[in-house]
Structure 1
Amino acid sequence: MNKVNETLDYICNTIDIGDIRLSEGYYYNSIVFCIIDAVYSIGARYASTKKTVERYCLKNGLKMYRRYGSLPIDIKDEHRVEDFLRILEGLTYLEMAEDLFENRQRTSTRNGILKAQAVWEWASILHHNNIGSFRDIPKLHDDVNIQNQIKSIKGQASGISLNYFFMLTGDDNKVKPDRHIINFLEEATGKTLSKIEIEELFKSCVDILRERNPNITCRSLDHAIWGYMSNR
């Protein structure tokens, strides 16, 4: 049996294909919240990440989510990247971590920088390249140079956070190959797969699973598997 068939069998035995849906976290009301989530979610429990975004919103009187199922272009008066950087202006990285996010996690336990610093650097790169809202995301999709600038931030070299950022901003074709996804596919196939192999496998599985659920995407399947693995 090949990897696609093995994975499909495992998916069908563990996931309700007919009831796959995204969580409210995929309907943030600002591109800024997507940056915070993408950075803080790596190597952390999602409840902690969600609280970090919530605290930033509460401290600044911001609405966290848009209407479920709505498109980013429907957002009125989006909290833009330049608004975010204005709030951070004059703060040290430690002050950002302690006072604004109330989260002192680092990008790595060994020589990692504060995730607050990584968020600031990510936002600064977007701002420098005139990317300030959801409407500007296609520019990032099309510019490998800007993507590489983001991946040059300490702790972002793998591109996992960037993939997840694209997913949070609406890309249905991306996968976040974190430990839950890697472990699920290892259980399904008996092999540890590379990032490229995971992406190709997801696309192959989704093409077949659409016969049962025409609305399924790589993004929604990723979320369903993540939910299954994190709740076991």
Structure 2
Amino acid sequence: MSVPADLSPLIDAVRMLDLQPRRWQWVSLSLCVFDAVYSIGAHYDRHVLPVVRRVAADAGIEAASVPPPTTDLADPLPLEVFLDRYDTVEALLEVTKNRQRTSPRGGILKAEAVLRFATILHEHGIGTVHDARVLLTDPQRFETVDAQLHTVPGDGGFGVRRGYLWMLIGDEDTVKPDRMVLRWLARHGADVDAAAARILLTELAAHVSGALGRRVTAWEVDHAIWASARSVRTELHAGP
């Protein structure tokens, strides 16, 4: 694994991406889990946002999302509280009003996938956005949790569901590059693991900030690469 001595081509490639600042952040880890699970194979505005907002409203959360950063906010719906409140799939379905499955054939209800995600995280002592961000800084512990989340049906190609969850959770400077981001970096000459990629994304953000004349965060670079890689993969598998 290596990082090219000359980062100029990589910096140029990042500058060509659609770099957009994060506009909002869910205030609860529970809402991040809903977003990640329901987003796979579903229209975001028509299906995902309504589900997240219904759950937030039912839990009494008046402001489900806020502009970043959110480092000092208390999680209004920790996973322990969430799992106590919605202790069965049926209870959750009554609130979500959504019976989508993780896959048309052989998939489980997304409501069940949410509960299984939440249970795995909770069993590892992760209950809030802050807890999850701490997890992102602990590679060994992270790999254990990530591997268990992978066992829940509906992960999508390249683990897109998990990658999206970590993206929703990460703060502006603490990101967890997934396999699509790592493959994009490798194609551009930086064959690195996730730990080295985190450092590289921060460096790239600093270089691009100078070039664009505004602060670009590691999250922006990670998100732009992820979105670009996902778009290319979708086009390759779209068919006529």
Alpha-carbon spacing, 1:217–1:109, altered in 2? closer, same or farther (3 Å): farther
User: Identity percentage over the alignment?
Assistant: 29
| Structure 2 equivalent of residue 153 of structure 1 | 152
Q: Which residue of 2 aligns with 1:116?
A: 111
1:75-94 residue pairs with structure 2 within 5 A?
A: 75-76=73-74, 78-89=76-87, 91=88, 93-94=89-90
User: What TM-score do the two structures reach when normalised by structure 2?
Assistant: 0.69
Equivalent residue number for residue 183 of structure 1: none
> Partner amino acid for 1:219?
W
Residues 135/95 of structure 1: CA separation in 2 closer, same or farther (3 Å cut): closer
C-alpha distance in structure 2 between counterparts of 1:42 and 1:199, whole Å = 24
CA positional deviation for 1:153:
0.9
Count of residues in Structure 1 that have an aligned counterpart in Structure 2: 199
**Residue 26 of structure 2 is aligned with which of 7, 28, 31?**
28
Task: Report the Cα offset of residue 50 of structure 1.
Answer: 1.2
CA distance in structure 1 between the aligned counterparts of 2:145 and 2:84, rounded to whole angstroms? 21
Paired position in structure 2 for 1:191: none
Please list, as runs of the form range in 1=range in 2, the aligned pairs for 1:10-21 lying within 5 A after superposition: 10-11=16-17, 15=18, 20-21=20-21
The residue number in structure 2 matching 1:198 is 184
> C-alpha distance in 1, partners of 2:75/2:128?
10
Structure 1 residues 70 and 106, CA, compared in 2 at 3 Å: closer, same or farther? same
Contact 1:164 1:175 in 2 (8 A): no
Taking structure 1 as reference, are residues 76 and 140 closer, same or farther at Cα in structure 2, changes over 3 Å only?
A: closer
Q: State whether residues 133 and 169 of structure 2, in contact with CA within 8 Å, keep that contact through their aligned partners in structure 1.
A: no
Distance 1:199 1:103 in 2: 37
CA contact (8 A) 2:101 2:110 kept: yes
Partners in 2 of 1:134 and 1:124 — Cα distance? 15
Aligned to 2:37: 39
The 3-state SS of whatever aligns with 1:161 is helix
* Aligned-partner SS, 1:212: helix
Q: Which amino acid aligns with 2:49?
A: K
Residue identity matched to 1:128: E
Cα distance, 1:88 vs structure 2? 1.1
* CA deviation profile, 1:119-151 (whole Å, cap 9, x unmatched): 100100111111111221245332111111111
Q: How many angstroms does 1:40 deviate by? A: 0.8
Q: CA RMSD in A?
A: 3.2
Question: Any unmatched runs of 5+ in structure 1?
Answer: 178-193
CA deviations on 1:17-72 (whole Å, 9 max, x unpaired) are: 5xx32122xx2111110111111111222112111100111122113435412323
Counterpart Cα distance in 2 of 1:4 and 1:40: 33
1:96 aligns with 2:92: yes
Gaps of 5+ in 2: 1-7, 189-199, 232-240
